Amino acid sequence: MTTEIKVLKPKRPFSASFGLLVQFRELLWVWTGREIKGRYRQSALGFGWALVQPVFQMVVISIIFGGFLKVSSGDVPYPVFAYAAILPWSFFSGSINSAVPSILQNMQLVTKIYFPREILPLSAIFSRLVDFTVASLVFIGLLWWYKIPLHSTIMYVPFLLLLQIVLAAGIGLLGAAVSVFLRDISFAIPLAMQLWMYASPVIYPIDQVPERWRWLYMLNPMASIIDSYRQVILNGQPPDFGYLSIAIVIAVILFVAAYWYFKRLEMAMSDII
Amino acid sequence: MSELPAIHFNDVSKYYLLGSRRAHMRYLLPEFLQSKQAVPSDEKGRITNDHNILWALKNMSLEVKRGEVMGLIGSNGAGKTTALSLLAGIISPSYGEITVRGRIGALIKLGAGFHPDLTGRENVYLNGAILGLRKSEIANMYDDIVQFSELEDFMDTPVKRYSSGMYVRLGFAVAVHTNPEVLLVDEVLSVGDVSFQSRCLNKIGEIREAGTTVVFVSHNMHHVASFCDRVAYLNQGAIQLIGSPGEALAAYTADLMTKQENENMEDGSDMREVNGTGRMVITDISFLNSNGITVTQVQYNEPVTMRVSYKSNEPIENPLLDLVARDTTRGNMFQATNRDFGVEFGPIGKTGHIDITFEKIPVNNQVLNFFVTLWNSTHTERFDWKRFIKLRVVGNPASSGRFLFDCNWENVPESEVINV
């Protein structure tokens, strides 16, 4: 019989974190399933809500910015142009908005039993993939309606998706850990996400940003990610790798740093009740 | 080869920063940015005293052998649950190191970490996943779990609608059926109905037989005495004694009674103070054992005499003595006058004493507070009243309950004895 030996010390080494997470992968899937089922439980529309929200946003934005304000959307019709950005943006902001409060919402579990706590924010993010998939169906319908051909560059989409998940995980882990000790974070995050949307090319194209400020603007990783989505899906162009590599570096560094900080705070979380 | 212990606490301390938001924000900063004072230390076993720091556990060292049932006893706040939470890995020690050999199943205070919005079924799977089991493994034991918890009709109900008893039943069922090598049990047996309790006890017995290591926390001394191989008595975060259940329980009950004695000290009676008209005064109250020696403590099954000394300068005909005995919860355990027992004292002397002899006082580890009142014969004039006269009655630490009836036990086979 093999006996697992556990040594509990004041600090757990960060290097062991990933192995532990792999060991608990079953929990990651179970919890993700719970998040998915739990979100729309007891609502009549169910997963319809995953559709309603981005579609209404797209309609309203199209009327105001595409219709009244005549924001340029290049060669593609404005609704498709807008929806191509609303889709990944909703996924991104939804991920963060559910990841940040995930620890606080489950304190009764955190104070009762041990499991790697990052499972909570990570499952929150993974569960948003379902909403993303549902909302994507509308996008496919839109592409067909406006007769926009499918380009082979669509192959880049999984990579862009992964990149934005890494970015969301970094911010989600950081926010989830800090909000246990500083509740203000829970209030600040929705506001920050709103502002961040205006700082990203969701309702306007990137070439509306003045040329000399472009470099600063592109330090926002979501700016190059959203622009890349439009490039590969609507225009059939490969993404701008120069700007995208900045986003990759920022996302990866942020994720590793946030994960390290999260694990450092992890054991103190159950001390706070 | 001597076997390694299943559980080893090596000089473990745990502190909590109390209360304020600023204290919580302290965790967010890296250590090198904090002032030296901010981090409590216990270098060389010294624990700093700081009112912002709660030491839940101080320099605890303990070894539990494989297959041993270790009991933890102590008052609330003694560190029992902290020790279990450390073992379960929910919190981490501030200093020292804990080694656990074997997979842990834990029941920490009412329920092993259930999510209120999930159904019973989902929680079983979730809990199994948390314990590191695969879905198929959980599916195999699912029926046993449901059967043991007797919650067949409630498995699709969210656990937030469960009663606390149902909650514990499911938690216990999951914890024991996942085949832990080390089982942590915290106060579960105080909940649930009688039939479930007896099944729990049987299950724990089975688990012990199977050689599982158990750490058992309970306020029920009877359970502790009957289950545990050894018991550690914790007081204010420190181990006072590790020993046989008898030794540990005796030390604990003795400390409890001392605490009870001290609790009412401020109400303690002053023999010089007269509470009444003072025409007849109680000058002293003492307890004597059967050898006539003054004592402050007796056994539950030995005779004891309460001697109430009095003095008076006037002739008083046939006074009444009213005697009340209360336990520390201040409930009356006994109240009577001599007349209730058909006794009249008649004329008194200038000085003298009244002896009240008890054949035995069958209470279990209690500090009794006696209240003695002297009245005139018609119960219309109170001469004197003395309060909080304490007597410690030692019972049997292994039994629980407030009373301890003196009894004989005998087995009488009515046919030939069955040989094993």
User: What's the helix, strand, coil split of chain A in %, to 5?
Assistant: 75, 0, 25
Which chain A residues are closer than 8 Å to B170 by Cβ?
Answer: none
- Tally of domains within chain A: 1
> How close is the nearest chain A Cα to the Cα of B42, in Å?
13
For residue A268, the SS3 value is helix
Residues of A engaging B, defined by a Cβ cutoff of 8 Å = 3-12, 23-24, 26-27, 30-31, 34, 38, 41, 106, 108-115, 178, 181-182, 265, 267-268, 270-272
Beta bridge partners of B336: B323
Instruction: Work out whether strand B230-235 and strand B238-243 pair parallel, antiparallel, or are unpaired.
Output: antiparallel
CA–CA separation, B308 and B311 (whole Å): 10
Q: Which residue has the tokens 């054991």?
A: A267
CA–CA separation, A4 and A26 (whole Å): 18
Instruction: List the one residue out of B236, B259, B184 whose CA is nearest residue B77.
Output: B236
pLDDT score recorded for residue A225: 96
- Compute the average pLDDT of residues B235-241: 91
Instruction: List the one residue out of A181, A191, A224, A160 whose CA is nearest residue A93.
Output: A191
> How close is the nearest chain B Cα to the Cα of A259, in Å?
14
pLDDT score recorded for residue B349: 86
pLDDT confidence bin for B191, thresholds 50/70/90: low
Amino acid symbol at A105: Q
For residue A213, the SS3 value is helix
Asked whether the CA dihedral B30, B36, B37, B39 is positive or negative, the reply is: positive
Chain A interface disruption, residue of B91, B97, B131, B136, most A CBs within 10 A = B91
User: Closest to B92 (Cβ–Cβ): which among A38, A181, A267?
Assistant: A267
CA–CA separation, B226 and B398 (whole Å): 8
Is the domain B66-260 a CATH 3.40.1030.10 member? no
pLDDT confidence bin for B208, thresholds 50/70/90: confident
Which chain A residues are closer than 8 Å to B116 by Cβ?
Answer: 108
| Prediction pTM value | 0.77
- pLDDT tens profile A59-75: 999 999 988 888 888 78
B54 and B15 in contact (C-beta within 8 Å)? yes
CA–CA separation, B86 and B142 (whole Å): 28
Beta bridge partners of B373: B322, B385
Structural domain boundaries enclosing A222? 50-269
Q: Could you tell me if residue A24 is inside a domain?
A: no
- Compute the average pLDDT of residues A71-97: 91
CA–CA separation, B195 and B174 (whole Å): 18
For chain B, which residues make up each domain, given as ranges?
66-260, 265-394
pLDDT confidence bin for A87, thresholds 50/70/90: very high
pLDDT score recorded for residue B110: 52
Does residue B17 surpass a pLDDT of 80?
no
Q: Which residue of B has its CA nearest to A269?
A: B91
CA–CA separation, A1 and B280 (whole Å): 80
pLDDT score recorded for residue B322: 94
Answer whether A267 sits within 8 Å of B91, measured CB to CB. yes
> How close is the nearest chain B Cα to the Cα of A129, in Å?
21
B300 and B406 in contact (C-beta within 8 Å)? yes
Q: What class has domain B265-394?
A: mainly beta
Q: Where are the alpha helices (DSSP H) in B178-312?
A: 194-209, 221-227, 245-263
A31 and A123 in contact (C-beta within 8 Å)? yes
User: Closest to A8 (Cβ–Cβ): which among B28, B97, B117?
Assistant: B97
Which chain A residues are closer than 8 Å to B134 by Cβ?
Answer: 26
Q: Could you tell me if residue A141 is inside a domain?
A: yes
- Compute the average pLDDT of residues B258-277: 74
- Compute the average pLDDT of residues B142-171: 87
Does residue A4 surpass a pLDDT of 80?
no
Does residue B122 surpass a pLDDT of 90?
no
Does residue A259 surpass a pLDDT of 80?
yes
Looking at per-residue confidence, does A256 or B95 come out higher? A256
Q: Could you tell me if residue A243 is inside a domain?
A: yes
Q: Could you tell me if residue A165 is inside a domain?
A: yes
- pLDDT tens profile B39-77: 555 544 455 566 667 888 988 999 999 989 999 999 888
Percent of chain B with pLDDT over 90: 29
Mean pLDDT of chain B: 84
Amino acid symbol at B103: R
User: What's the helix, strand, coil split of chain B in %, to 5?
Assistant: 30, 30, 40
Answer whether A109 sits within 8 Å of B113, measured CB to CB. yes
Contacts of B39 (CB under 8 A, 6+ apart): B31
- Compute the average pLDDT of residues A28-47: 83
pLDDT score recorded for residue A1: 44
pLDDT confidence bin for B190, thresholds 50/70/90: low
Q: Which secondary structure element, helix H or strand E, spans residue B367, and what is its range? A: strand B366-375
One DSSP character per residue, B369-382 reads: EEEEEEE-TTS--E
B62 and B242 in contact (C-beta within 8 Å)? yes
- pLDDT tens profile A92-125: 999 999 999 999 988 888 888 888 999 999 999 9
